[in-house]
Amino acid sequence: MVARDNMGQDSALRTSLHGVLIDVLGVGVLILGKSGIGKSECALDLVMRGHRLVVDDLIQIEKWRDGSLYGFSHDLGRHHMEIRGLGLVDIEKLFGIAATTDRKRIELIIELVEPEECIDDRVGLKEETYTILEVKIPRKRIPVRPGRNLTAIVEVAARDYLLKKGGYNTAREFEKELLMNLKKRE
């Protein structure tokens, strides 16, 4: 069945996921992780740094004809976040209309994980994806440890995604330089 959304796009497939979708530097970043790991707190900090909340908790996702995925909220939960210890907060009322947006293309997945669930790729050569509605989205697994600045890490991940989208891969460039230096020494 094909549904027509309010943007005039035909969408055939829909699903939902628990997480937070936020617009970071124009990149639709979907933050996933188990309950209580800090997804909403990270997103709140991103909003406080000037980024835009799309939806917290239950993200509605639809696949458009061009294969892109867009996330949005049901009307009831729009622009609200649940912050442990505070309860529900209205982000648009607290921070203004510029702190929210109704819909965003999902371009990058950040999965917050316990340290033991993640083998660190210290250089960044390993490229992982997360599949939603048969669409593969780049995924970064970030181990959550006390004292880590997850907000800064998510911002850097968005910037790195934009660099890669523009054709520059820091890890691959580093690897090339390293191999060239090793060959010079031989």
Amino acid identity, position 54: V
The answer, yes or no, to whether residue 171 has pLDDT greater than 50, is yes
Report the mean per-residue pLDDT for the chain.
Answer: 90
Percentage of residues in the chain having pLDDT higher than 90: 72
Beta bridge partners of 100: 53
Distance of alpha carbon 135 from alpha carbon 65, whole angstroms: 12
Percentage of residues in the chain having pLDDT higher than 70: 91
pTM of the model: 0.88
Distance of alpha carbon 163 from alpha carbon 156, whole angstroms: 10
> What do you get for the CA distance between the two ends of the chain, in Å?
63
List the structure tokens of 96. 């203004």
For the chain, domains (ranges, CATH) are 3-185 (3.40.50.300)
Q: Which residues are tagged catalytic?
A: 18, 39, 57, 122
Amino acid identity, position 184: K
| pLDDT for 143 | 92
3-state DSSP assignment of residue 65: coil
Burial of 97 (0-12, 13-18, 19+ CB in 10 A): exposed
Lowest mean pLDDT among 87-101, 109-123, 126-140: 109-123
Lowest mean pLDDT among 102-111, 132-141, 143-152, 175-184: 175-184
Chain segment 47-105, per-residue pLDDT in tens? 999 999 999 999 999 999 999 999 999 888 899 999 989 999 999 999 999 999 999 99
